């Protein structure tokens, strides 16, 4: 991680932690109003698989030996 920190000013770290009923922590009081406002975004149970394949699959076909249009903003 020290090498990544030295490469640039921004680093994003993801920390995974197993959650058990014994290890569940209290929700911070400042987050409760936001969770109540957006309650429909958070499902009660998470699925253990990916959604089914759809009829329409989006893809971008690349042309061999072409260059990307790098234009200024």
pLDDT of residue 28: 82
3-class DSSP state for residue 38?
Answer: coil
Instruction: Give 41's DSSP letter.
Output: G
Question: Residue 54 is encoded by which pair of tokens?
Answer: 């759809």
Sign of the Cα torsion 37, 40, 45, 51 reads negative
pLDDT value at residue 52: 86
Q: What is the pLDDT of residues 24-65, one digit of tens each?
A: 567 788 888 888 898 888 778 888 888 888 888 788 888 888
Residue 22's pLDDT band, with cuts at 50, 70 and 90, is low
Decide: helix, strand or coil at residue 30. Answer: coil
Higher-scoring residue by pLDDT: 1, 55: 55
């Amino acid at each position: 991680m020290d090498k990544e920190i030295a490469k640039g000013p921004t680093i994003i770290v993801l920390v995974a932690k197993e959650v058990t009923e014994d290890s569940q922590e209290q929700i911070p009081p400042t987050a409760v109003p936001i969770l109540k406002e957006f309650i429909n975004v958070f499902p009660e149970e998470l699925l253990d698989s990916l959604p089914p394949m759809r009829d329409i699959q989006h893809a971008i076909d690349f042309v061999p030996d072409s260059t990307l249009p790098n234009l200024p903003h």
